[in-house]
A and B are shown apart, each in its own frame.
Chain A
Amino acid sequence: MTGLRIEKPGPRTTVQDMGRFGYQHQGLSVGGAKDLRAWRWANHLLDNPTNAACLEVTWGGFSAIAESCLLMAVTGAADQVLLNDQSLPSWSVFLMRPGDHLQVSASAKGLLTYLAVAGGWQTREFLGSRSVVIREQLTDLGNVQAGVLIPAQPYPQDDQNESRLLRRVPPAHRSLPQSEIVLKLMPGPDHHRFSRLDLARLVNSCYRVSGDSDSMGYRLDGPALDSPGGVTSRGVSCGTVQVPGNGKPIVLLNDCQTIGGYPVIGTVPRLDCSRLAQCSPGASVGFRWSDVAECQGERMVFEEQLRTWTWDEYGRLIRRSG
């Protein structure tokens, strides 16, 4: 078999694609890459199928050795990535030869690093997705463990003309590290049950990412809102902002449950969730009111860019002709 042998997985490394859709009514979480922007660009750098699986390395501590030639790309928090002790350029393509050593250390600029491989990592697919939701305890869909081989299609060893190696994502398209982020928020189904004062308080306050945040949701510390009390459970998803009894908002992320019974004040759009998921505990977070048209519009523009932009032979991003 060909692929990448994991030496150290770090605190949390999982395989992620877009997520497992179509089974939420059975209680299965969607999961999926938390930084949608970084994950999409990692695959785009390699001309991968849209839904190819990447390794999502959380908070560094990761190292691995190539067991075959691998054409790979790195995006996300990518300033602390070493190939055979040499620093790799951020958001770029690189080649690993058998025995080469790759190391991802924790970055001050973000939590999540994405490692893509040409053709995508060939781990177990279940119900149309390779995404891992650890708490679901599905077979061979857990945290990446030390010593395992993450399989990938072989890459021809001596391709001297690989133009993909020249590719870099221009800085304007990267999710740039920010010390303070403002998240858009479209009003949620229980919006009308909060006081006008609290609706104003939410967008005029500074919150901090709490230490007990995880891949199911980010808890925020800051001014408490007056929670209108439990509601009858309905569907929740990545971006849903719940306000439980203690009044501190929780932004649900990819691995969240499929239904929830806390009042929902609003929803953060997917690309803003990507920025939030890169934040460490203690990071400042603010909100501003938005609406579905703006949130959907931003997503459409992003998808359209990835669809229409490709690379020339010098690794420059160009508009697809025709």
Chain B
Amino acid sequence: MVSGLPRPRIEPTAEDAVLVEFSEHIDPENTALISAWCEQIRQRMAGWLTDLVPSYGSITVYYNPVVVDFYSVINELTAISDNPPQPSSARGRLIELPVWYHPQVGPDLESVAAFHDTTPAEVIRIHSETRYQVFALGFSPGFAYMGLVSPDIATPRLSRPRLRVAAGSVGIADQQTAVYPSVSPGGWQIIGRCAMPLFDEERLALLEAGDTIRFRPVDHHEFLKLGGDDTPFNDQVTST
């Protein structure tokens, strides 16, 4: 390879999908490359493409099999691979999410601190000082998987997932972090609440893969002023 970029494996995974995989591991270095590839694919395959799903180390290309067959799609992707786009770190946006870190809305803030033998204030400092990459969206509309969380506060998922996690909840699962856009079941450790909606039916998802995120700690007053909902976290734990 002239460019020194990783050459992805390109493989049909369904009658209407081809997987382009750069790495089988979580590697923040790949995000800019994946964004650049997505842009190329959107340009070159506009007539066939039905969906394009970037994830941690891969892109799944969905196409209309009535319009084009898998040979042609693989050929097109191989052509991109032969002359790959250069990753541009300037492409992604930097987005700041205001978060009220408080036990009232973050029922696991204290236990995450205890898990690492430190204080909630230290958990907040470390969580909000790190810049995160959005690796992928999934799970529910607007749910963005971000990382990497510092090993100093990375905490495994709850052993008993909750049936109901409040909308806006900011969670940690190992070295990943995310905001729950809507009320849903979930097992992530909840340490605070985001004042900004992550998904609505007018503007759709706030975040996209490739974005850079910073969480900005705000106090109760500013959280409310920004439109945050301070309803106490209603902790309902499943029986299993």
Q: Interface residues, chain A, CB within 8 Å of chain B?
A: 21-28, 30, 126, 135-139, 186, 188-189, 231-235, 237, 239-240, 257-260, 264, 267, 269-270, 292-293, 295-296, 299-300, 303
Contact = CB atoms under 8 A, between A and B. Distances in A.
Contacts of A239: 14
Given A232-B57, A234-B58, A24 B51 contact: yes
Given A30-B51, A303-B66, A136 B141 contact: yes
B13 A233 contact: no
B15 A233 contact: no
A42 B15 CA distance: 23
Interface stretch (B105-113, B132-140, B218-226): B132-140
Q: What are the 3 A-B residue pairs with the smallest beta carbon separation, nearest first? A: A235-B60, A259-B138, A235-B53
A24 B138 CA distance: 8
Contact of B16 (A28, A139, A234, A270): A270
Contacts of B70: 292-293, 296
Nearest to B11: A189
B5 interface: no
A233 B138 contact: yes
Nearest to A184: B15
A237 B142 contact: no
Given A292-B15, A303-B66, A231 B24 contact: yes
Given A137-B182, A239-B14, A300-B66, A233 B143 contact: no
Interface size range of chain B in the complex = 35 or more
Interface stretch (B121-129, B203-211, B229-237): B203-211
B55 A28 contact: no
Given A27-B138, A30-B51, A258-B53, A139 B201 contact: yes
B201 to A, nearest CB: 6
B138 A237 contact: no
A189 B9 CA distance: 10
A200 to B, nearest CB: 21
B53 A232 contact: no
Interface of B: 11-17, 19, 21, 23-26, 50-60, 62, 65-66, 69-70, 136-145, 182-184, 199, 201, 204-205, 208-209
Nearest to B14: A267
Contact of A126 (B21, B66, B201): B201
A186 B57 CA distance: 22
A203 B57 CA distance: 30
30 contacts: A23-B51, A24-B53, A25-B52, A25-B53, A25-B137, A26-B141, A26-B205, A27-B139, A27-B199, A138-B201, A139-B201, A186-B13, A186-B15, A189-B13, A232-B55, A232-B58, A234-B53, A234-B55, A234-B57, A235-B19, A235-B53, A237-B62, A257-B138, A258-B137, A267-B13, A295-B14, A295-B15, A296-B65, A299-B15, A300-B69
B50 A21 contact: yes
B16 to A, nearest CB: 7
Nearest to A292: B12
Contact of B145 (A21, A139, A233, A269): A233
A28 B141 contact: yes
A135 B62 CA distance: 23
A300 B71 CA distance: 14
Contact of B208 (A25, A257, A259, A300): A25
Given A24-B51, A269-B14, 6 more contacts: A26-B141, A235-B13, A235-B59, A267-B14, A267-B15, A300-B69
Contact of A235 (B58, B65, B142, B182): B58
